Structure 1
Amino acid sequence: MSGTEHLTIPQKINLTIREAAEYSNIGINKIDELLKEPGCSFVLYVGTKKLVKREAFEKFLKKEIEI
């Protein structure tokens, strides 16, 4: 893959908080709040950076009716 090609969100394993917000129509602050909850199944820490595990995030959203 050359430097000019970009993966689409469904092709990515992990998303930034901004990408997850765009993908889900949930605000950045709300996603950040969810990532801070103990036992969050879709957070991945890379140093101090938080990423969203896309598939686990999708599963979480499919089973929730309110966040």
Structure 2
Amino acid sequence: MVKLATDAGFKLAGQSEVNANPKDTKDYPAGVWTLPPTLKLGEQDKAKYVAIGESDRMTLRFVKPAK
């Protein structure tokens, strides 16, 4: 992701773990949609997936340098 943005001329200005979720093991039957808020499997193992919470995410900030 970073390489793609920097190759397009952006500069990485910051990153944060604010949206990280270490409970997310990334191996669910319906992919990321298994987790809340979507809960693709409905009531099947719902408590388990609610306990995990939303998916692990990255937060990156890019700036476009002035010409």
TM-score range, shorter chain: under 0.3
Which of the two has greater helix per residue? 1
TM-score by length of 1: 0.24
TM-score (norm 2): 0.24
